[in-house]
Amino acid sequence: MSSYPHPLIAREGWPFIALALGLALVVTSLAGLLWASPIWLVWLFCVQFFRDPAREVAGNAKSVVAPADGRIVAIEPVRDTWLNRDALKVSVFMNVFNVHSNRSPVDGEVKQRWYHPGKFVNADLDKASTENERNALWIRTADGHDITCVQVAGLIARRILCYVDAGTGLTRGQRYGFIRFGSRVDIYLPPAARIKVTIGDKVHAATTLLAELP
């Protein structure tokens, strides 16, 4: 699975953009630009939401990079229930104006994938990690470190997309999924990982270093 090249506008958004554009053109031709202006705004929103710029990947084999664009909303020791272990959780919240492509935080192999249906509470809240719809990947690095990367749906997100499964090799920064319309990604790291970000920091997928593995 190659990361690049990929379109500047994510393929996941093409149907939405095409539908909004077609409807805007029809209404403009039949009723004029004033009546069509709300539909043109929807089209512009879709274009900005589904943008997917290429990124320079930071760090090295021991680096953990941001899996998504957004803001750091949690850095805390927790119990990783996916792997039944103590871990350090780092959470990135994406609002509707962030790029929503999800990228692998580390170099490694996907050992297992889990999908859990759930609620759609505000992804900015801590309880979203345990109550919302979510898709988790267990990734093991070449050095044997286990990383759990969890896509979490948000208040208006209704579709988590993941294109990898057990046995897939990933490189950090490689695109592996997408969440439509607001969400978060939780990363569960070994407790000895050295965190490089703080609460409130804005991060960019692949280019921002979240942590260094021991």
Exposure pattern of 170-179 as b/e (b: 16+ CB <10 Å)? bebbbbbbbb
Assign a CATH topology to domain 63-212.
Glucose Permease (Domain IIA) (2.70.70)
pTM of the shown model: 0.83
Please give the pLDDT value at position 129.
61
Residue ranges of the chain with per-residue pLDDT less than 50: 1-4, 123
Please give the pLDDT value at position 121.
55
The alpha carbon dihedral of 92, 162, 8, 29 has a sign of negative
User: Could you report the per-residue pLDDT of 55-100, keeping only the tens digit for each?
Assistant: 889 999 999 999 999 999 999 999 999 999 999 999 999 888 888 8
Is residue 29 part of the annotated active site? The answer reads: no
Residue ranges of the domains in the chain? 11-49, 63-212
Residues 6+ apart with CB under 8 A from 66: 92, 103, 105, 203, 204, 205, 206, 207, 208, 209, 210
* Active-site annotation holder among 63, 101, 104, 183: 183
Output the 3-class SS for the chain.
CCCCCCCCECHHHHHHHHHHHHHHHHHHHHHCHHHHHHHHHHHHHHHHHCECCCCCCCCCCCEEECCCCEEEEEEEEEEECCCCEEEEEEEEEECCCCCCEEECCCCEEEEEEEEECCECCCCCCCCHHHHECEEEEEEECCCCCEEEEEEEECCCCCEEEECCCCCCEECCCCEEEEEECCEEEEEEECCCCEECCCCCCEECCCCCEEEECC
Please give the pLDDT value at position 70.
94
Residues 6+ apart with CB under 8 A from 65: 57, 58, 59, 103, 105, 106, 172, 173, 205, 206, 207, 208, 209, 210
Residues 6+ apart with CB under 8 A from 140: 108, 109, 111, 146, 147
